[in-house]
Chain A
Amino acid sequence: MAITSPAAQSRRAASFVGFFGGIGVALGLSICPILIAEAGHASGGAIPRTSDGKPDLSGIWQTTSAADFDLEPHSGRKDAPPSVGVVEGGVIPYTPEALATKKRNFEARLVDDPRLKCWTLGTPRGIYYPEPFQIFQRPQDVTVFFEFGHSVRTIHTDGTLHPLDTDQEFWLGDSRGHWEGDTLVVDVRDFNDQTWLSRAGDFHDEALHVVERWTLIDANTIDYKATLEDPKIFSKPWNIEVFLYRHREPHFELIENYCYTLDYDQYYPVPKQ
């Protein structure tokens, strides 16, 4: 699903607002009632299940939200479509010191965002980044395969615990999941401090702890919720919620995107006679 234009982005942002009760005043409000109606019948739809009866998250997914541009409510900018944001309560509860860092990050966002180096996006940013990812599911694990960077995250659902070594500093965190009814609940810990949470400079340090809740609300929509805590950066835990939509275009597939290689691609011409 190509992101076509800021206007298209705005419409998607607006439709996202629609799902959450239409509190926004974003562009394209007129399409909200249709989407609300869809959401209304969606909750009753049958969801795919694996042979062991768990919800089957397999498929290629992508958000239509503007979360990656800025998690908080914001007006339109040249580098971001407007959005009411995806943070419960609107604002990320930074500590005063961390807020100053976030503001510096924001000012430098067009240079310093690790995304621009194509570094692995981290968790949860990889999930709401506007590029598809594919889920492969087995009883013992859920594999999240990102198109961006072709990086792979394994959510272990085999009952194992986080490693005893808690200082491995993973890009995507160490993910241990279990099912609570039809919701996959994932505890994610042991991050490095190299990733941002959005293009707006939202950040964290190594102590980030994320708890995700993945719920299929119909065959083609995942309600993705995450709680983030990081005691030196945030004054209290905070929540986000985005919807993820299944790619249903015929023959749609992930295409390898090792974009961090593009900067040196020019130095590797294929040999010619």
Chain B
Amino acid sequence: MKRIMECLSVALISACTTSPVPVADHAAPAPVAPTGGIHFELNPPPVASGPWKGKRLPDGQPDIAGDWSNTAGNHNNFTDPQGGIPDDPLDRGKPVKPRSARAPSRVSDPPDGELPYLPWARAKQQEFQHGFFNNTKPEYVEPLARCAPAGIPKSLYWHGYEIRQYPGTVVFLFNSGSRIIHLDNQVHLPENISLWQGDSRGHWEGNTLVVDVSNLNSKARLGRTGDFTTEHVHIVERYIFDPGNQRYDYVAVFTDPTAFSRPFTVTIPARRWTVANKPNGWHYEVPLANNPGKAPIGDHLERICVENNAGFGRVAVQSKK
């Protein structure tokens, strides 16, 4: 049961710490802050595609295993990651800095940073956004609040996560849900198989893991802003790792003509975390293992969320044991 409580407490923290936490001076082009807050980076320099000269695994993959997180913000706001939750009646997320001093939209194309919704889909997104704090329909409760997987791309800005690599496979272990990326050049699963995390087929191009994603059930929202894709979405993701193996950029093209007038690109910078960092309750939640007298090792403990049946927007209610 303790796991459940922890999950709930995470929900509470995420609902209650979404004020614009001034954990790092966004105005200064400072290096990555070591700890603190959900959003502390403004706009790190992009990582370029190119050859990989770093360490490799026996099967030839670049060795990028370890702990990672995005640092611009969480899923409160998809296109304004440091802009708080729209319509929040408690004013927790009201941004204090002007838009130009906050992290850019995760939508890097179109250039205006907006999702190119068709009119009907924009209306639906607005409905979801307003419904987030006014749950008059079950579908307004974010599925993540019920322990559903965060889906794509939200898994990448919902807590830190771990990447493990094996011959022919890359595994993502998220705070809620997990993902197996097959490096097998196989075709996708049959169309009628519908998945929270989609069907992922990838390969490496130099420093870039290229992943083709389909079979998404598209029930996970992109954020508390109600942004969504449909089950017809097709995603080509590029995870571009920097030569120092300390950062990567997620650059993914989403094509979904059912809801959008044109393809759009999502860019999410990420950074690595190691045992040199202190766990901070969001980006890096890896305590030191019990390993007396030996070199420090991060301890990757179980992450399982069950029956967290309360909407974040309404503030989660803890069940009695």
**1/0 contact string of A166-200 vs chain B (CB within 8 Å):** 01111110100000000000000000111000000
Expressed in whole angstroms, the minimum distance between the Cβ of B66 and any Cβ of chain A is: 12
Contacts of B164 in A (CB 8 A): 136, 138, 143
Determine whether A154 belongs to the interface, using a CB cutoff of 8 Å to chain B: yes
Question: Are A163 and B299 interface neighbours, CB within 8 A?
Answer: yes
Quick one: CB contact mask for B138-182 with A, threshold 8 Å, 1 for yes?
110101001111000000000000001010010101000110101
In the complex, which residues of chain A have a beta carbon less than 8 angstroms from the beta carbon of B304? 120, 151, 170-172
Does A2 sit within 8 A of B, measured CB to CB?
no
Interface contact A159-B291, CB-CB below 8 Å: yes
Contacts of A270 in B (CB 8 A): 217-219, 230-231
C-alpha spacing A159/B58, complex, angstroms = 23
Q: Which one of B171, B228, B258, B304 has the greatest number of beta carbons of chain A within 10 Å?
A: B304
Complex partner residue of A161 from B186, B195, B290, CB under 8 angstroms: B290
B246-291 contacts to A (CB < 8 Å): 258-259, 287, 289-291
Residue among B141, B164, B230 with max Cβ neighbours from chain A (10 Å): B164
Whether a CB of chain A sits under 8 angstroms from the CB of B297 is: yes
In the A-B complex, the 3 residue pairs with the closest CB atoms: A267-B138, A160-B289, A169-B2
- A and B contact pairs by CB, cutoff 8 A, 24 listed: A58-B166, A136-B164, A136-B166, A138-B166, A141-B300, A143-B164, A145-B180, A152-B302, A152-B303, A153-B302, A154-B300, A160-B291, A160-B297, A161-B292, A162-B290, A163-B287, A251-B186, A255-B189, A258-B196, A261-B148, A261-B149, A267-B141, A268-B138, A270-B217
Interface size on B, residues (CB 8 A): 54
Which residues does A use to contact B, with CB under 8 Å? 51, 58, 117, 119-120, 134, 136-138, 140-141, 143, 145, 150-154, 156, 158-164, 167-172, 174, 192-194, 251, 253-256, 258, 260-261, 264-265, 267-273
**Chain B residues whose C-beta falls within 8 Å of the C-beta of A261 in the assembled complex:** 143, 146-149, 196, 219
Task: Judge whether B32 is part of the interface by a CB distance below 8 angstroms.
Answer: no
Contacts of A159 in B (CB 8 A): 291, 294
* Cα A152 to Cα B178 with chains together (Å): 8
Please give, as numbers and ranges, the residues of chain B lying within 8 Å of A164 by CB-CB distance. Answer: 290
Q: Are B3 and A271 in contact (CB under 8 A)?
A: no
Q: Which residues of A sit under 8 angstroms from B300, Cβ to Cβ? A: 141, 154
Complex CA–CA separation, A154 to B186 (angstroms):
27
| CB-based nearest A residue for B259 | A271
Hey, which chain A residues are within 8 Å of B177, CB to CB? 150, 258
Asked whether, in the complex, the Cβ of B148 is within 8 Å of the Cβ of A161, the reply is: no
Task: Kindly report which residue of chain A lies nearest to residue B176, judged by CB atoms.
Answer: A258
Bound form: Cα–Cα A154–B162 in Å: 12
Interface check B301, CB cutoff 8 A: yes
Picked from B1, B171, B219, B301, the residue with its CB within 8 Å of the CB of A174 is B301
Is the CB–CB distance between A119 and B139 below 8 Å?
no
* A268 engages B306 (CB within 8 Å): no
Residue-wise, chain B 114-126 has the 8 Å CB interface mask toward A (1 for contact) of 0000101100100
B197 interfacial by beta-carbon distance below 8 Å? yes
Nearest residue, chain A, Cβ from B2: A169
Asked whether, in the complex, the Cβ of A258 is within 8 Å of the Cβ of B149, the reply is: yes
Whether B96 is near chain A, meaning CB under 8 Å from some CB there, is: no
The complex places the Cα of A152 from the Cα of B304 at a distance, in Å, of 8
Contact A255 B193 (CB under 8 A): yes
- B226's nearest neighbour on chain A, judged by CB, is A271
Query: Contact: B195 with A256, CB < 8 Å?
Result: yes
Cα(A119)–Cα(B4), bound, Å: 12
Q: Which residues of A contact B231 (CB under 8 A)?
A: 270
A271 to chain B, nearest CB (A): 5
- Collect the chain B residues with CB atoms within 8 Å of residue A153's CB: 302
**Which among A145, A158, A270 has the highest number of chain B CB atoms within 10 Å?**
A270
User: Please, which residues of chain B bring their CB within 8 A of the CB of A265?
Assistant: 219
Q: Which residues of A contact B139 (CB under 8 A)?
A: 267-269
Pairwise interchain contact B58-A192, C-beta atoms closer than 8 A: no
Extra contacts, 20 of them, besides A119-B307, A136-B171, A168-B301 (Cβ < 8 A), are: A117-B307, A140-B297, A141-B300, A150-B149, A150-B178, A154-B301, A158-B289, A160-B297, A161-B291, A169-B3, A171-B304, A172-B304, A251-B186, A253-B182, A255-B195, A264-B143, A267-B139, A268-B139, A270-B217, A271-B259
